[in-house]
Structure 1
Amino acid sequence: MMAFGDPQINGNWPSTPYIKRLDNFGNDYYLGHIYRVMKSRLHPTHVVGLGDLFSSQWIADSEFYNRTRRYMTRLFPRPEEQTFAELDFIAEHKDVDWVSHLEWFQKSLEDGLFLKPEFYHYENVYDWSSANLTHEPLFINVSGNHDIGYGDTTYQHMTRWRRLFGKDNYWIEFDNDTDHPWRIVVLNSLALDGPLLQPEFKDYTWQFVETLKQRNYSGSSILLTHIPMYKPEGLCVDGPLVEYFNENNCHPGGEYRIGLLKSENHLQYDTSQAVMNAVFKGNYSGIIVTGHDHEGCENFYNYNFTSGEWQASKSINSPKYIKEVTVRSMMGDFDGNTGLITGHFNQETKTWEFNYKLCPFVVQHVWWAAQIGIVLSILFHSINFLL
């Protein structure tokens, strides 16, 4: 599995200077170069974007479409058979019908749809499209705060995310008929804490966590989510921090956000415990893969059998533990990183063993220098030829 954290691509506006437009254009292909090279060399079975695909959730639908098209065609190009439906929808440039989505969502919540495992369950999925291109990696996108928001998330945010990137909460189970079952769990961690503008989003997300907890699953789990689990100060660059909207950090017209969750570096302690208890049950191995902290981090959560709690540490000190990796951002300022997750089933111990390596590329200025050098070389050769 190749994992990419926080590309946060910017957009262009009428007032955007041409030099910045060129920078955005080049950045798309810088990030796309990283993906194409790594994909062609490693042939991953899965690729995951760990959230914050875009630089801001507060953009109009048309700009969300523009960035999604760039994301799908420049940064992470895939065969047309896998993306034509989304790209055709984007080409229409119609505002999303969030009112209809609101009505469906609220009725589904009232009817108990989100308490049913069938709503979240997938099995042995290798291609989301009907093209069944199994030689291509399965592409998974995780929602980030710059994609849908924190406590200020609206139905408009969620409608366009789900329309173009799919569900925000689900699991995929693999190889259930073997002695080595495993699954991927995708979790929208932005809606777990709160308070939220739409508290029903929190209800729905916790219903997903409860459904996970109640599911009798005998296998290893890979948890993909944007916000890392709680850990004390000093284990990562980002320590625990929670911020709420107040009268001093709300712009005029945004007073309705006062009291809502504005940002957080980690999930809160009780939330983290509940999530890990729901996903990692029994004595099965697993790994947590997150984004959010641009500097990246690696930790272990050791299970304390006396207290029944998961305790963060830089070392393993319990027979039951889960590793959490926060993939360093793929932005150029952070060296264009790719997180590599591999899984090996140990036939002797009958357990999955997961390993993680970070593969940096190079700061974007070096890539730009190479492109400029190529252009100048072609130009000089052309001039010499004409002379």
Structure 2
Amino acid sequence: MLVVIYIYLLDYSLFCGWQFSDGSLHALMVGDPQLEGHARTQREPYLPDNFSNGYNDYYVRFVVGSLFRRLRPNMVVVLGDILSSQWIGDDEFWWRVERYRWIFQEVISSGVLLVNVTGNHDIGYGGEMEEHMVKRFEEAFGPVNRNYPLAGHTFSNLNSLNLDSSLNEVLQGKSRAHLVSMTELEDPVILLTHLPMHKPPGCCSDSPHIQHNWRGHVEYQNFLSENETKFILENVCPYLIFTGHDHVGCDYLHALPVNSKRKDVFLENGRSVEGVSEHTVRSVMGEYSGNVGLFEIRKKSSGGYEYAFSNCSFVKLQYLSVLFITTLVWICIGLLISIFKLCLRCIKKQKQKIP
């Protein structure tokens, strides 16, 4: 039984695949890695130094690397919260960046487009965001606001964390300007951002909640505000939106506002869609089974495009730990039995030598 389980673990990516073999774009969507650091080591003094961090790094590297090698995507997107805290110092920040680069080494060395969306644990919410946080993020991971033309579409990476309210008006102005520029794009837009759009309560694991500090700036939010969401749906009119943040994952279809400039219907997963399809991608963390989203675009012979999205999960990190410990116990039992049998043989031989 253990052999069968290990065969699955080593080749689990065989159970995931693209729906369009002739797709013009295949992308891996990775949600919320949240690489931790020294604070975790201090919380777990009973474990060897950085054991948990290293264990988690190997886990995410295996998940991303396995899918990347077998599926050969031409785009990889990390949907924010690359790190677990925006308040760390520069030394620890760059240490975590090096670990991130090791985890995504195969992607980086291949030259495949890697888009890093920024999250609240990378640069803070609007009421926390400061210039140096954004600057070091961009030095390590690339621009927080940028368009990527690909496969007849524009993939737009948007820093949505300071749209509702911001401590820094200059940074907010840059995000706002990028958002407004997206309204003038001619190609179909695929929006990439960390914060999910506003939704009614009960549609996803979270309900709408925005918390402001005493200055009136946002210090926590699980969705964009209703007004910002409406602006995006009415004026940007993306075909699809990919977000992170909630860890659990959620698929939701937004109705197009009456004033929306886009009125067409498109195909996703073989179904006609009239609206904007949003996928909040489940986290790649071990607690959430190492999930990665698979997104595809295919150009139809009759004109236009069709899309597909699915999730590919590995196994919870806790279950792996139980499996490894169980395996180690059985190996130890086997060794003890072998040693015991060897000792019995030696004793038997010694008795035979005695006249």
TM-score, normalization by structure 2: 0.77
- Once residues 237 and 376 of structure 1 are traced to their aligned partners in structure 2, the CA distance between those partners, rounded to angstroms, is 38
| Residue type at the aligned position of 1:323 | S
Which of 279, 292, 306 is equivalent to 1:338? 292
Aligned partner of 2:163 in structure 1 is 192
Tell me how far 1:379 sits from its aligned partner: 7.2
Aligned partner of 1:204 in structure 2 is 174
Question: Is 1:365 equivalent to 2:290 in the alignment?
Answer: no
Tell me how far 1:381 sits from its aligned partner: 8.4
Which of 194, 203, 206 is equivalent to 1:235? 203
Question: Is 1:12 equivalent to 2:41 in the alignment?
Answer: no
In structure 2, relative to structure 1, the CA distance for the partners of 1:318 and 1:303 (3 Å cut) is farther
- Spell out, residue by residue over 1:315-359, the C-alpha distance to the aligned partner (whole angstroms, 9 max, x if none): x999741210000111112111111111111112x1211111111
Tell me how far 1:22 sits from its aligned partner: 1.4
- Once residues 351 and 301 of structure 1 are traced to their aligned partners in structure 2, the CA distance between those partners, rounded to angstroms, is 21
1:111-122 matches, cutoff 5 A: none
Question: Is 1:169 equivalent to 2:145 in the alignment?
Answer: yes
Tell me how far 1:138 sits from its aligned partner: 1.4
- Spell out, residue by residue over 1:96-124, the C-alpha distance to the aligned partner (whole angstroms, 9 max, x if none): xxxxxxxxxxxxxxxxxxxxxxxxxxxxx
- Once residues 325 and 35 of structure 1 are traced to their aligned partners in structure 2, the CA distance between those partners, rounded to angstroms, is 19
Asked if the contact 1:3–1:338 (Cα under 8 Å) also holds between the matched residues in 2, the reply is: yes
Tell me how far 1:207 sits from its aligned partner: 0.8
- Spell out, residue by residue over 1:40-77, the C-alpha distance to the aligned partner (whole angstroms, 9 max, x if none): 2211111111001111100001111111111110x322
Tell me how far 1:280 sits from its aligned partner: 2.3
Question: Is 1:182 equivalent to 2:208 in the alignment?
Answer: no
Tell me how far 1:378 sits from its aligned partner: 7.4
Asked if the contact 2:233–2:256 (Cα under 8 Å) also holds between the matched residues in 1, the reply is: no
What SS does structure 2 have at the residue aligned with 1:173?
strand
In structure 2, relative to structure 1, the CA distance for the partners of 1:318 and 1:31 (3 Å cut) is closer
- Once residues 232 and 245 of structure 2 are traced to their aligned partners in structure 1, the CA distance between those partners, rounded to angstroms, is 17
Aligned partner of 1:60 in structure 2 is 89
Tell me how far 1:382 sits from its aligned partner: 8.5
Question: Is 1:76 equivalent to 2:30 in the alignment?
Answer: no
Tell me how far 1:276 sits from its aligned partner: 2.9
1:192-341 matches, cutoff 5 A: 192-194=163-165, 196-215=166-185, 217=186, 219-246=187-214, 258-280=215-237, 286-305=239-258, 308=260, 320-341=274-295
What SS does structure 1 have at the residue aligned with 2:320?
helix
In structure 2, relative to structure 1, the CA distance for the partners of 1:78 and 1:41 (3 Å cut) is closer
- Once residues 137 and 308 of structure 1 are traced to their aligned partners in structure 2, the CA distance between those partners, rounded to angstroms, is 34
Asked if the contact 2:237–2:261 (Cα under 8 Å) also holds between the matched residues in 1, the reply is: no
Asked if the contact 2:81–2:121 (Cα under 8 Å) also holds between the matched residues in 1, the reply is: yes
Asked if the contact 2:131–2:171 (Cα under 8 Å) also holds between the matched residues in 1, the reply is: no
What SS does structure 1 have at the residue aligned with 2:231?
helix
Tell me how far 1:366 sits from its aligned partner: 2.1
Asked if the contact 2:65–2:106 (Cα under 8 Å) also holds between the matched residues in 1, the reply is: no
Asked if the contact 1:2–1:340 (Cα under 8 Å) also holds between the matched residues in 2, the reply is: yes
Asked if the contact 1:52–1:146 (Cα under 8 Å) also holds between the matched residues in 2, the reply is: yes
Question: Which range is displaced more, 51-60 or 20-29?
Answer: 20-29
TM-score, normalization by structure 1: 0.71
Aligned partner of 1:94 in structure 2 is none
- Once residues 192 and 209 of structure 1 are traced to their aligned partners in structure 2, the CA distance between those partners, rounded to angstroms, is 9
- Once residues 219 and 99 of structure 2 are traced to their aligned partners in structure 1, the CA distance between those partners, rounded to angstroms, is 28
- The structure having more radius of gyration, on CA atoms, is 2
Asked if the contact 1:220–1:352 (Cα under 8 Å) also holds between the matched residues in 2, the reply is: no
In structure 2, relative to structure 1, the CA distance for the partners of 1:69 and 1:269 (3 Å cut) is same
| Residue type at the aligned position of 1:2 | L
Tell me how far 1:376 sits from its aligned partner: 6.4
- Once residues 213 and 34 of structure 1 are traced to their aligned partners in structure 2, the CA distance between those partners, rounded to angstroms, is 36
In structure 2, relative to structure 1, the CA distance for the partners of 1:15 and 1:331 (3 Å cut) is closer
- Spell out, residue by residue over 1:179-237, the C-alpha distance to the aligned partner (whole angstroms, 9 max, x if none): xx21211111112111x22111111111111112134x1x2222110001111111111
Aligned partner of 1:145 in structure 2 is 120
- Once residues 288 and 217 of structure 2 are traced to their aligned partners in structure 1, the CA distance between those partners, rounded to angstroms, is 31
Asked if the contact 1:301–1:321 (Cα under 8 Å) also holds between the matched residues in 2, the reply is: yes
- Spell out, residue by residue over 1:230-289, the C-alpha distance to the aligned partner (whole angstroms, 9 max, x if none): 11111111111000124xxxxxxxxxxx432111111111111222334327xxxx2111
Asked if the contact 1:6–1:330 (Cα under 8 Å) also holds between the matched residues in 2, the reply is: yes
Aligned partner of 1:120 in structure 2 is none
Asked if the contact 2:80–2:194 (Cα under 8 Å) also holds between the matched residues in 1, the reply is: yes
Question: Is 1:347 equivalent to 2:318 in the alignment?
Answer: no
- Once residues 184 and 75 of structure 2 are traced to their aligned partners in structure 1, the CA distance between those partners, rounded to angstroms, is 27
| Residue type at the aligned position of 1:200 | V
| Residue type at the aligned position of 1:19 | L
Structure 1 unaligned spans of 5+: 84-132, 176-180, 247-257, 311-315
Task: Calculate the aligned-residue CA RMSD, in Å.
Answer: 2.8
